[in-house]
Chain A
Amino acid sequence: MTGRSLLDNRLLCGAIGIAGLFCVAELAGRTGLIDPIVFPLASTVVGRAVELAADGDFLADVVSTLGAWAAGLLLTVLIAVPVGFLLGTLPRVESALRPVLEFLRPIPSVALIPLALLLFSDRFDMKVAVIVYAAWWPVLINTMYGLRDVDPLAKETLRSFGFGPLAVLWRVSLPSTAPFIATGVRLAAAIALILAISAELLGGGSSGIGTFILESGSSTDALEYTVAATIWAGAIGVISNSLFTLAERRLFHWHLARTEGTR
């Protein structure tokens, strides 16, 4: 392999990037920049994270969190995209709802989760509700902003052939907005994961990454466990994002071709 083709290898480059971060973190610990008592060494934490991979209970926690994550994300997309289209195409409705929406947007999870605990008797429902609440904003906003970017001539073309507003929405606005909505979904995916873990952390439960962190709270090594679990969250983020990117590349090849996508 030549140097050039090595640099073309995404997996290799990504691994080098991650390894670089690891080395920097380890060095910061070793040189005393960050006292290992205050924040554990990178190697310790990664060791713990690797140990966890063999821990059946923890893997069950991961699966449980992923379940709520997937359900929440799916529901998010199903709700946010249509609402985004509604608000994006009906400016009057949007400006009427705006004060309420903008009021709701900055409510933090620490305030939200206790309320959700009051309202839901089922933990899974509670998690999904909290995820949808927090994760739907990026999809909503990206949908609304994406709609503004639709080429008016493309819409007029379809209108001139006698298609109604719904058909224009479905056949022009949706496909041309889709790539930007997808970016919103990728944003939402990470937020959903964060909220799933936070809901388990604040709301308790019997399984989930957040519950795992809770349970380790009694340990004197709690910080190590927390950070190790966090690394797992990050890894899940990287993997899910790669899957999304892969799907986007297949679905939106036309978009890349037209816009000189740098790959």
Chain B
Amino acid sequence: MMRFLRALGRLWLVPVVLVAWEAATRLAEDIFFPPPTTIAARMHEMWFSGPAERLWLTDAALENIPTSVGRLFAGWLLAGVIGVVLGVMLGRSALLSRFIDPLVQFGRAIPPPALLPFFLALFSVGAQMQIATIVFGIVWPILLNSSDGARHVDRQHLETSTVFGLSRSQRLFWVILPSAMPKIFAGLRLSLSLALILMVISELVGSVNGIGFQLLDAQRSYDLPGVWGTIVVLGVLGYLLNSVFLVAERRVLSWHRGANRTT
């Protein structure tokens, strides 16, 4: 209970920002910047005015939010696996990195929307193509940070594992990965929010549902509170996902916090 209250206490800035936002938008009276209360009303109408037995979620909410979040998780997990595996390989193998690195740098600079037609051609419309887009868009921070982490393992740690004859996989799982883990986590955290962004982008063409589709729909209908409402949903989702992520990170990296604490 105390912990819950303390966690709540850490959110003190949120009401402050909300009030300031409300005041500013009310003063400005710009139709493009509706006040949060208006946005909230619209959000309520769009997503939270359903029947009580469905937790007040509307059809639109049930149709769009879970599908989108599902794709997001699939994309993020896949990107995590690909990014870490490829990143560690590139970080540890100079030869491989000489061949692959330019491709990585090339791919990284490509705007993901420009590749939508390509993924459409490969996977046609649907979840596969959307997940492919998400993966392509968010894998880079994980990949780069993993390869950075794997490349810069303390020399003494590597020598220790060499001397005690650790096998390649033991060395990987017990030395290289843990040592790179703090950096990998930085990449994963970056990618989590990017995944939300890419989720929206992947729903822009040829799509009939999802949060991104709703955003587009609201933009097309000049429904500005609706646009802002979608942005708010994205933001809140981002905050929640990040909070869960940080809890997981704190468990996995507890040694890191301890080892690097200064008093």
Contacts and interface: CB of A to CB of B under 8 A. Distances in A.
Whether chain A touches chain B in the assembled complex (some CB pair under 8 Å):
yes
A105 B193 contact: yes
A237 B111 contact: no
Interface residues of A, number: 81
B256 A194 contact: no
Nearest to B189: A141
Contacts of B106: 18, 21, 234-235, 237-238
A234 B104 CA distance: 9
B152 to A, nearest CB: 4
Given A106-B193, A190-B105, 19 more contacts: A15-B102, A38-B117, A39-B117, A39-B121, A96-B13, A102-B193, A102-B235, A102-B243, A111-B227, A137-B190, A146-B186, A149-B256, A152-B260, A152-B262, A194-B109, A197-B111, A238-B105, A238-B106, A261-B152
| Chain A interface mostly | helix
B155 interface: yes
Interface stretch (A70-78, A120-128, A225-233): A225-233
Interface string A131-154: 000000110011011101111100
A108 interface: yes
Interface in A220-263: 223, 226-227, 229-230, 233-238, 240-242, 255-256, 258-263
B92 to A, nearest CB: 6
B239 A99 contact: yes
Contact of A39 (B99, B118, B239): B118
Contacts of B243: 102
A105 B14 contact: no
B102 A262 contact: no
A161 interface: no
A263 B239 contact: no
B71 interface: no
Interface string A148-178: 1111100110000000000000000000000
A14 interface: yes
Nearest to B111: A194
Contacts of A23: none
B98 interface: yes
Interface in A5-51: 7, 10, 13-18, 20-21, 34-35, 38-39
B111 A34 contact: no
24 contacts: A17-B100, A34-B122, A100-B14, A106-B194, A108-B196, A108-B234, A111-B230, A142-B145, A145-B182, A149-B182, A149-B256, A155-B262, A179-B148, A183-B148, A186-B144, A187-B144, A227-B114, A230-B111, A234-B106, A235-B106, A241-B105, A242-B105, A260-B155, A262-B97
A149 B260 contact: yes
A258 B155 CA distance: 6
A207 B213 CA distance: 29
A60 interface: no
Nearest to A134: B197
B200 A108 contact: yes
A20 B223 CA distance: 47
B114 A18 contact: no
A96 B98 contact: no
B112 interface: yes
A44 to B, nearest CB: 14
B110 interface: yes
Contacts of A156: 262
B235 A259 contact: no
A109 interface: yes
A112 to B, nearest CB: 9
Contacts of B17: 100
Given A111-B230, A187-B144, A234-B110, A106 B237 contact: yes
Contacts of B227: 111
A114 interface: yes
B221 to A, nearest CB: 14
A179 B151 CA distance: 12
B251 interface: no
B168 interface: no
Lowest 4 A-B CB distances belong to which pairs? A237-B109, A106-B238, A106-B196, A103-B235
B13 A102 contact: no
Choose among A18, A97, A194 the residue with the greatest number of B CB atoms under 10 Å from its CB: A194
A215 B151 CA distance: 43
A233 B193 contact: no
Given A99-B13, A141-B189, A152-B261, A34 B151 contact: no
B219 interface: yes
Interface string B184-210: 011001100110110011001000000
A262 B236 contact: no
A211 interface: no
Interface string A183-227: 100110010011001100100000000000100000000010011
A219 to B, nearest CB: 14
